[in-house]
Amino acid sequence: MLRHGAAGDKPRVPGWPGLLVHLLVSGVRMQTYTARELGMDSEAVPSDAQAKIYEFPAAGDTQSDENMDHFIVRDGKCFAGTHLIIDLWGASRLDEIEHIRATLRDAVEKAGATLLHIHLHHFTPNGGVSGVAVLAESHISIHSWPERDYAALDVFMCGDSEPHKAIEVFREAFRPERIDVGEHLRGEAGAE
């Protein structure tokens, strides 16, 4: 249900306080839409990501990470983390949301990362899936086009995690004919 504030206020969506989305139309006119009008109503379509609220620091955690930026030094380079851009071509099972969820969990585990939560959305009618595994070290995202046997993934991890290990998990889970991988060192600070 949309709620209105004072006269002249735009409607608000419960669960999304103050969220309004502005779209530029024809390069001139602005239109304002609420989250509900854009299909982002968390009450009508609850997310599994809303099941837990994480508070940091955790109770009993007294160690400060104030000076621990988790930058990596490898091959004479200092950087925040490795960002892999992965394209899967000729892939299968790209419309099976539970298979994708299990694959993301497996990729996180194999890479030695810390899973905070997974949020996936299943599109109709083509069955594509978009989603993200949010990690303490960053994220893994997926966008699939099963009608084209194609998926775009990105894996960004900082610290001691090993993002390249996720590639083999994706190969086994989706059986692509071809995998293209690009790598970018995020926050590269130069030689140490």
Residues tagged active-site = 138, 143, 158
DSSP string, 109-141: HHHT--EEEEEEEE-TTT--EEEEEEESSEEEE
Q: In this structure, which amino acid lies at residue 87?
A: D
Report the candidate in 186, 108, 182 with the shortest Cα–Cα distance to residue 140.
108
Q: Which residues contact 14 (CB under 8 A, 6 or more apart)?
A: 1, 3, 43
